[in-house]
A and B are shown apart, each in its own frame.
Chain A
Amino acid sequence: MNIKDTYPELHALRSRLEANQGKEYWRSLEELAETAEFREMLHREFPDRAAEWPGPDDVAGRRRFLQLMGASLALAGLTGCTVQPTETIAPYTRPPEGIIPGKPLFFATAMPLGGVGEGLLVESNMGRPTKVEGNPDHPASLGATDVYAQASVLTLYDPDRSKTLTYLGDISTWGAFIAEVQTALSGQRGNQGAGLRFLTETITSPTLAAQLQGLLNEFPQAAWHQYEPAGRDNVRVGAQLAFGQEVNTVYRFEQAEVILSLDADFLSCGPGSLRYARDFAAKRRVTEGKTEMNRLYVVESTPSGTGAKADHRWPMRAGEIEGFARAVAAGLGVQLGGQAAQPSGPAGQWVPALVRDLQQHRGRSLVMAGDYQPPVVHALAHAMNQALGNVGSTVVYTDPLEARPASAGTGAVNQLESLRTLVNEMNAGQVEMLLILDGNPVFDAPADFNFTEALKKVKWRAHLSLYNDETSLICQWHIPEAHYLEAWSDVRAYDGTVSIIQPLIAPLYRGKSSHEALAAFTAQPERTGYDIVRDYWRGRLGAGAGGQVPGTGPKPTTPSSAGPSDPFEQAWRTALRSGVVPNTALPPKSITLKSDWVSEVGKTTSGSQMEIVFRPDPTIYDGRFANNGWLQELPKPLTKLTWGNAALVSPATAVKLGLLSQGDDRLDVEAKIETRLYEVNGRVVELQYQGRTVRAPLWVMPGQADDSITVHLGHDRWRAGRVGTGQGFNAYRLRSSNTPWFGQGLEVRLTSDRIELATTQRHHTLEGRKIVQAAVIDEYQKKPDFVREEVETPPKEHTLYPEYQYPGYKWGMAIDMNACVGCNACVVACQAENNIPVVGKEQVLRGREMHWLRIDTYYKGALENPETHFQPMLCQHCENAPCELVCPVNATVHDAEGLNVQVYNRCVGTRYCSNNCPYKVRRFNFLLYQDFETESLKLLRNPEVSVRSRGVMEKCTYCVQRIQRAKIEAEKEDRPVRDGEIVTACQAACPAEAIVFGNLNDAASRVAKLKAEPRNYGVLADLNTRPRTTYLAALRNPNPEIESKPGPETRHG
């Protein structure tokens, strides 16, 4: 029975639902009921009465009321799939072991991204994973998380996830799929699998690698290809170039005193970035008597979080960085065979000073090349680290993390070439069966590959993925994938440490993991992921096992009745519990630098043409998170853009394009110029590159390299789901295989159109206000309490009201601005913890985003290369809170422990408190932003936090639910809450440990000690608000040689 013919209205409604995007998705049903189709349907549903009603456009109250009532009833039937089971059900009298109702449990697992794992502890409330925390035992996390991990729970419950296995668009079954695979495979057996191909993303999972290898052993002519749009080919090929073999580089920032980053955004993205941020921040923590800090030099094409933390940052076109690296390398004594040249660009004059600084810190310095720089820059970086004696101290080499097909030999896996081979074979008709595990090549393969056309030439094609996406549409078979929180697997971290990924919930939509999908190609097609992963580790774990895990075929296992005394069983349980498999970190490896790579030097072209730079998006990555509302609405670092991307240009380039007048770019940033910039931002340009054209809104980015335009990948998907489809522009359309990360010869044509860009921060200047305190370390050493002179603190008696007394606890927070790297993890962590809704682009444009915690970014100095500061801003829990006085109904009050609490039930929504809040951290539910309808999203909510409805003010509570939980535990044990027992969600997520929360009445607490630091100050303390959240002034450690000589590209601290 075809629904389209039987119920045309329902079909229309359904297609309308599918077409919904962004905002509508979040509050859809009431609005849906207003459509003509739906009214029409209502009439048919109740023909005898409805027909008597006058025309549908009548707005009279009673009829409209009935319509709405009817609509909600009908829709309840449409979406509801909760039917009482017919079987006898039993009440919950004997709960499963270990579960106390209302008390969350934590399970260790890991999230793979780009193939590399991040260790997590996931909170489970009555069997529902609701919140992700970092695993303190995991070397890549140490308790911290990134935005992707934080937002992954929303993807798990995304109502747009693929729910059914489909064949040619029709619903099918797993059994049917296996049957067909087996039939098709029998055809391949004759030619040893010559027509069989597997396409995966980067794989570090030992189990999956073993499975694939097993299949390749069985079908020697088959091939395994890998492609990842934001892959690390440059790193691998660079290592191959430098050492003749592929290695994995692990950096030890805890040892590094002087760091040079060549376009490497190591604080914000890439494997190990959380750990790197932690170690980097630790070396900058000038507290408790420490007065030294590391020094960071950054050359980069597009501003990043790492660049913002730099003591010296030089904007440089991506193509010029090799020249700069060459000059530094030559200065350090690296033999370049006469290729050493003065780098173009004004940063060249500082090379000698930089070289001297690096040489003075031999063995304690670090040179790091960015993932997006060509292989030769990586080779140069390796050579520089060798020359500086850093290998073994700040730089450690190990075997590669990535599993690779044995057939690839010792050569590096160049994924781009791997995909090119696959496409060529597909075009040649050599590929008969293709299984795509994860990934979305139809959307993100290089534009010149024409992947879609090639794919259509494959006879049998199947796609395993979380969403029925662009690639699924082209494949005959689509298999819904199990989310990493639903499936068993394993993964390696940046240093090789293996974590077993254990599921927290049974697959919501009967999804299959990669392991299970591959098993379908074996003799045991029905094996579960659990069996596959466990069987792989059986024999490798337990007595005598450990150390390195071989990457080849699965060992034959004999199923045995494993008891708890079984050493494997014990080791397995320990590994699951702790989240890491012990002793699996890859051991350091000594390797020697080759010299033949020097011939590659100098090939990077760097003309005067316009350059285009591709980057994965800082929030939706390569596009895979496009349907995640938290990430779409997460303000991207620095630009604070939400819901879409923009083409970033420097102010000087904007002048060149005729958008700004000459001189606008030279002025210091101030409100007027900014107003001017925001008139320019959003102007649409046509970007033409290698014959392909894309229309994109412009964004003037202070600190961007001139004549270089950065575009972020992953936007404008056409089958992402209701949230992600059609947001922004698709930069993949411009990206070809010969210029994966940057290239010359971009043509820019200005159009007269404009696109409204939804940014959450429109002003980045301080206006001469003392909001951000910063000093150069030398000044700080001379005068540690410099902030006292800067910030005026009125005497305590300047209030009409009596002082509050805190006999018990007195909560407070300190935020070290010197540590904050602006990574946004706290923002998403807060959103996940506190059930904060997503509002959609339209509402962000109106200025109604709901984030309780935001990261304010301020610029100082010239537009072309400003000094950047991050200031996480959340409710300051003022002692003299301006909001408390003006609330007419006592909905926001001071509590006995100093919290400024918001009583949602009492709030009538006058918004006076927000008007009177100088920090503007209060958020108002102008409309019904919460989605109370979607079933799967109900599972996501934190049960300990109220879900706010329309018309109510909300704000940061210092995670009062966590405070209460800790207090209850402490009371049960009749002791005070220990320092560090309460960790707010933002604090837990922070990789840089910038946020510290605790009891101010306890002088020994970390927060009390931080508040006693001379750098501690209150933002807007001159208003006598006496904020309870205080900040530690930022410090910079510039090279005195560079700083003393004022140059155009230098910062003035």
Chain B
Amino acid sequence: MAKVEEPLHQSLHEISGAPPVIEPGHTFASVTDKISTIVLRRRTPLWWLVGFGLSFTLAMVLFYTIGYLVLTGIGIWGNNIPVGWAFDIINFVWWIGIGHAGTLISAILLLLRQQWRTSINRFAEAMTLFAVACAGLYPALHTGRPWLDYWLLPYPNTMRMWPNFRSPLIWDVFAVSTYATVSLLFWYTGLIPDLATLRDRTRRRGAKIIYGILAMGWRGSARHWHRYETAYLLLAGLSTPLVLSVHTVVSFDFAVGIVPGWHATIFPPYFVAGAIYAGFAMVLILAIPLRKVYGLEGFITMRHLRNMAKIMLATGLIVAYGYMMESFMAWYSGNTYEAFMIRNRMTGPYWYMYWMLILFNVAIPQVLWVRRFRGNVPLLFVVSLSVSIGMWLERYVIIVTSLHRDFLPSSWGMYSGTRWDYAMFFGSIGLFLSLFFLFIRFLPMISIFEMRTILPQAEVAGEKPTATRLPETGGPQESPA
């Protein structure tokens, strides 16, 4: 593990305007060492234990809530008539949105040959998986009789009953389950060469067996690499439309409904942009502390952070445009219900939610226009948190304030979450973090072999390296530098 003279390189690259995607001075061996040691070292750091302990406690709160929920009914939440959906669907959409960055980074940036994605794609994908897992909890448990959820699946049965294919919820089932499956496959396929590295480097027998099984007999032969690359590219191709489709379909849950504030054609693009926005915010929230505590500033460099900040700024502007167009259309359409809906959002009983949303999601992220601020890591962290909160508020505004006052004033009502709503929400954050802690302890959080491809040494004369072209196999046969 080479000691890095960071300030010098950092400043040099600051001057040239393009910080590197990997710090100079790394070799194949140093990359492998640095990343695999995090997993293979025997002693678990204290902060990890503390962090995992806290997260797991929260996760237990989630499990307790789920138990009580299934035994008692969703009446323990604050949902009512007219607000039939609330925290359940807010949290679902929020988590699904967060889950978007992973696939975007892995698939779309891979196809676009964006080299810088390499150092963040692995944990972004893991984040996606865990976020989708958290997201999936909500629609599954928000039904009145969750034990009958399988009726949403089209399976042959003696009743000859099929789901209602006209319902966006059915589209949702397909979209989310496909997304979860493809994301898992993509992540696991990408892990195989690194699992082989870990298998070869670990000195513990148990770990060797487990990593060995998971590596599926990877030996690094040319045929392996050939098949691997084909599969990975295919999966990337499959994932790419999914990035767009999942949140489009999620937005259909609303756009297909007739509720003012839901029924809008702008929803699909605006939801997708919002999802990427939220996803990158979450990647930053996770990456900033990770690179610090593991000393990975050499791998997750300022260039990554700056690029992600730019993407956040861009998608954030699309989202802001969405808000603007919602207001504009409410006025331009001349529809009384729409006009009332916007007025109610801005000045109704939940006005503070709307203006907090504008503050967190639109106002605060504007600091990213300033180049200096994009390089300020603590500030980026704060902005990312703000976006995460803002995106949650956005779903609250869309779902609760649209439903609570719709067509007939006689049926207008109010909504407030109960402690069980909050227990479930924070509990799912606990589950997410617990899974993430386990991931960073037991799997390489940065793709080892891909990082090696972006080293200058990997450059074959006259040919630019691609993310999937590998100069060597993963393994310890590489002599240390």
User: A residues near B, CB below 8 A?
Assistant: 59, 61, 671, 675, 761-769, 771, 843, 846-848, 854, 856-858, 871, 873, 882, 885-890, 906-912, 914-916, 918-920, 922-928, 950-953, 1019-1020, 1023
Whether B409 contacts A888 by the Cβ 8 Å rule is no
Contact partner of A858 (CB less than 8 A), chosen from B64, B83, B166, B409, is B409
Find residues 62-111 in chain B having any chain A CB closer than 8 Å to their own CB. 64, 67, 72-76, 78-85
Contact partner of B152 (CB less than 8 A), chosen from A767, A847, A888, A918, is A888
Known interface pairs A915-B257, A920-B408; A846-B166 also in contact (CB < 8 Å) = no
Find residues 226-273 in chain B having any chain A CB closer than 8 Å to their own CB. 253, 256-259
Whether A908 contacts B414 by the Cβ 8 Å rule is no
Whether A857 contacts B161 by the Cβ 8 Å rule is no
Contact partner of B407 (CB less than 8 A), chosen from A59, A854, A1023, is A1023
Whether B168 contacts A915 by the Cβ 8 Å rule is no
Instruction: Write out the residue numbers on chain B whose beta carbons fall within 8 Å of the beta carbon of A928.
Output: 73
Whether B152 contacts A889 by the Cβ 8 Å rule is yes
Whether A885 contacts B256 by the Cβ 8 Å rule is yes
Whether A909 contacts B151 by the Cβ 8 Å rule is no
Taking the closest CB of chain A, its distance from the CB of B70, in whole angstroms, is 10
Find residues 367-421 in chain B having any chain A CB closer than 8 Å to their own CB. 403, 406-415
What are 13 A-B contacts defined by CB distance under 8 Å?
A856-B408, A871-B410, A890-B162, A906-B161, A911-B85, A912-B167, A912-B253, A918-B408, A920-B81, A924-B84, A926-B144, A951-B144, A1020-B408
Q: Does B163 contact A (CB under 8 A)?
A: yes
Whether A769 contacts B73 by the Cβ 8 Å rule is no
Whether A886 contacts B409 by the Cβ 8 Å rule is no
Whether B64 contacts A916 by the Cβ 8 Å rule is no
Whether B79 contacts A911 by the Cβ 8 Å rule is yes
Whether A763 contacts B410 by the Cβ 8 Å rule is yes
Which residue in chain B gives the minimum CB-CB distance to A921? B411
Most interface-central of B81, B143, B414, B415 (chain A CB within 10 A)? B81
Whether A951 contacts B403 by the Cβ 8 Å rule is no
Known interface pairs A847-B80, A858-B409; A889-B72 also in contact (CB < 8 Å) = no
Whether A765 contacts B409 by the Cβ 8 Å rule is yes
Q: Does B142 contact A (CB under 8 A)?
A: yes
Instruction: Write out the residue numbers on chain A whose beta carbons fall within 8 Å of the beta carbon of B72.
Output: 927
Which residue in chain A gives the minimum CB-CB distance to B151? A889
- Chain B, residues 150-162, CB within 8 Å of chain A (1/0): the string is 0110000000011
Whether B336 contacts A768 by the Cβ 8 Å rule is yes
Contact partner of A886 (CB less than 8 A), chosen from B142, B257, B348, B407, is B257
Whether B257 contacts A882 by the Cβ 8 Å rule is yes
Find residues 169-187 in chain B having any chain A CB closer than 8 Å to their own CB. 169-170, 173
Instruction: Write out the residue numbers on chain B whose beta carbons fall within 8 Å of the beta carbon of A856.
Output: 408, 410-411
Whether A923 contacts B410 by the Cβ 8 Å rule is no
Instruction: Write out the residue numbers on chain A whose beta carbons fall within 8 Å of the beta carbon of B152.
Output: 888-889, 908
Taking the closest CB of chain A, its distance from the CB of B316, in whole angstroms, is 28
Instruction: Write out the residue numbers on chain A whose beta carbons fall within 8 Å of the beta carbon of B82.
Output: 847, 914-915, 920
Which residue in chain B gives the minimum CB-CB distance to A949? B145
Whether A764 contacts B409 by the Cβ 8 Å rule is yes
Instruction: Write out the residue numbers on chain B whose beta carbons fall within 8 Å of the beta carbon of A764.
Output: 409-410
Whether A888 contacts B164 by the Cβ 8 Å rule is yes
Contact partner of A918 (CB less than 8 A), chosen from B169, B406, B414, is B406
Whether B73 contacts A951 by the Cβ 8 Å rule is yes
Find residues 121-162 in chain B having any chain A CB closer than 8 Å to their own CB. 142-146, 148-149, 151-152, 161-162
Instruction: Write out the residue numbers on chain A whose beta carbons fall within 8 Å of the beta carbon of B403.
Output: 915
Interface size class of B (residues with CB under 8 A): 35 or more
Top 10 A-B pairs, shortest CB-CB distance: A909-B144, A951-B144, A926-B75, A927-B75, A847-B80, A911-B84, A920-B411, A856-B410, A888-B169, A951-B145
Instruction: Write out the residue numbers on chain B whose beta carbons fall within 8 Å of the beta carbon of A918.
Output: 258, 406-408
Taking the closest CB of chain B, its distance from the CB of A188, in whole angstroms, is 59
Instruction: Write out the residue numbers on chain A whose beta carbons fall within 8 Å of the beta carbon of B24.
Output: none
Most interface-central of B149, B164, B340, B409 (chain A CB within 10 A)? B409
Instruction: Write out the residue numbers on chain A whose beta carbons fall within 8 Å of the beta carbon of B406.
Output: 918, 920
Known interface pairs A926-B74, A952-B145; A1023-B258 also in contact (CB < 8 Å) = yes
Taking the closest CB of chain A, its distance from the CB of B475, in whole angstroms, is 46
Known interface pairs A847-B80, A847-B81, A890-B164; A857-B410 also in contact (CB < 8 Å) = yes
Whether B258 contacts A848 by the Cβ 8 Å rule is no
Instruction: Write out the residue numbers on chain A whose beta carbons fall within 8 Å of the beta carbon of B80.
Output: 846-848, 926
Taking the closest CB of chain B, its distance from the CB of A449, in whole angstroms, is 43
**Roughly how many angstroms separate A885 CA and B256 CA in the complex, as a whole number?**
9
Q: Does B349 contact A (CB under 8 A)?
A: yes
**Roughly how many angstroms separate A926 CA and B348 CA in the complex, as a whole number?**
27
**Roughly how many angstroms separate A761 CA and B410 CA in the complex, as a whole number?**
6
Instruction: Write out the residue numbers on chain B whose beta carbons fall within 8 Å of the beta carbon of A951.
Output: 73-74, 143-145
Whether B145 contacts A908 by the Cβ 8 Å rule is yes
Instruction: Write out the residue numbers on chain B whose beta carbons fall within 8 Å of the beta carbon of A882.
Output: 257-258
Whether B258 contacts A888 by the Cβ 8 Å rule is no
Whether A911 contacts B144 by the Cβ 8 Å rule is yes
Instruction: Write out the residue numbers on chain A whose beta carbons fall within 8 Å of the beta carbon of B144.
Output: 907-911, 924-926, 950-953
Whether A888 contacts B142 by the Cβ 8 Å rule is no
Which residue in chain A gives the minimum CB-CB distance to B152? A888
**Roughly how many angstroms separate A495 CA and B78 CA in the complex, as a whole number?**
51
Whether B84 contacts A888 by the Cβ 8 Å rule is no
Instruction: Write out the residue numbers on chain A whose beta carbons fall within 8 Å of the beta carbon of B83.
Output: 847
Whether A873 contacts B79 by the Cβ 8 Å rule is no
Instruction: Write out the residue numbers on chain B whose beta carbons fall within 8 Å of the beta carbon of A952.
Output: 144-145
Whether A873 contacts B410 by the Cβ 8 Å rule is yes
Whether B408 contacts A888 by the Cβ 8 Å rule is no
- Extra contacts, 18 of them, besides A761-B411, A888-B169 (Cβ < 8 A), are A847-B413, A873-B410, A886-B168, A887-B167, A890-B162, A908-B149, A908-B151, A912-B169, A912-B253, A915-B257, A918-B406, A918-B408, A920-B408, A926-B73, A926-B74, A950-B144, A951-B145, A952-B144
Instruction: Write out the residue numbers on chain A whose beta carbons fall within 8 Å of the beta carbon of B81.
Output: 847-848, 914, 920, 922-924
Instruction: Write out the residue numbers on chain B whose beta carbons fall within 8 Å of the beta carbon of A916.
Output: 257-259
**Roughly how many angstroms separate A922 CA and B411 CA in the complex, as a whole number?**
11
Whether B170 contacts A927 by the Cβ 8 Å rule is no
Instruction: Write out the residue numbers on chain A whose beta carbons fall within 8 Å of the beta carbon of B409.
Output: 671, 763-767, 769, 771, 858
- Chain B, residues 40-81, CB within 8 Å of chain A (1/0): the string is 000000000000000000000000100100001111101111
Most interface-central of B344, B407, B410 (chain A CB within 10 A)? B410
Most interface-central of A846, A887, A914, A952 (chain B CB within 10 A)? A846
Taking the closest CB of chain B, its distance from the CB of A1038, in whole angstroms, is 25
Whether B163 contacts A763 by the Cβ 8 Å rule is no
Whether B161 contacts A890 by the Cβ 8 Å rule is yes
Instruction: Write out the residue numbers on chain B whose beta carbons fall within 8 Å of the beta carbon of A763.
Output: 409-410, 412
Instruction: Write out the residue numbers on chain A whose beta carbons fall within 8 Å of the beta carbon of B67.
Output: 61
Contact partner of B259 (CB less than 8 A), chosen from A761, A873, A915, A924, is A915
Instruction: Write out the residue numbers on chain B whose beta carbons fall within 8 Å of the beta carbon of A922.
Output: 81
Which residue in chain A gives the minimum CB-CB distance to B80? A847
Whether B164 contacts A887 by the Cβ 8 Å rule is yes
**Roughly how many angstroms separate A671 CA and B343 CA in the complex, as a whole number?**
11
Whether B413 contacts A762 by the Cβ 8 Å rule is yes
Whether A847 contacts B170 by the Cβ 8 Å rule is no
Taking the closest CB of chain B, its distance from the CB of A771, in whole angstroms, is 6
Instruction: Write out the residue numbers on chain A whose beta carbons fall within 8 Å of the beta carbon of B407.
Output: 769, 918-920, 1020, 1023
Instruction: Write out the residue numbers on chain A whose beta carbons fall within 8 Å of the beta carbon of B75.
Output: 843, 848, 926-927
Instruction: Write out the residue numbers on chain B whose beta carbons fall within 8 Å of the beta carbon of A1023.
Output: 258, 407
Instruction: Write out the residue numbers on chain A whose beta carbons fall within 8 Å of the beta carbon of B161.
Output: 889-890, 906
Taking the closest CB of chain B, its distance from the CB of A794, in whole angstroms, is 13
**Roughly how many angstroms separate A873 CA and B73 CA in the complex, as a whole number?**
27
Instruction: Write out the residue numbers on chain B whose beta carbons fall within 8 Å of the beta carbon of A925.
Output: 73, 144
**Roughly how many angstroms separate A882 CA and B167 CA in the complex, as a whole number?**
10
**Roughly how many angstroms separate A911 CA and B253 CA in the complex, as a whole number?**
12
Known interface pairs A888-B167, A920-B82; A950-B73 also in contact (CB < 8 Å) = yes
**Roughly how many angstroms separate A49 CA and B172 CA in the complex, as a whole number?**
49
Which residue in chain B gives the minimum CB-CB distance to A885? B166
**Roughly how many angstroms separate A854 CA and B336 CA in the complex, as a whole number?**
25
Whether A915 contacts B85 by the Cβ 8 Å rule is yes
Contact partner of B410 (CB less than 8 A), chosen from A847, A858, A906, A927, is A858
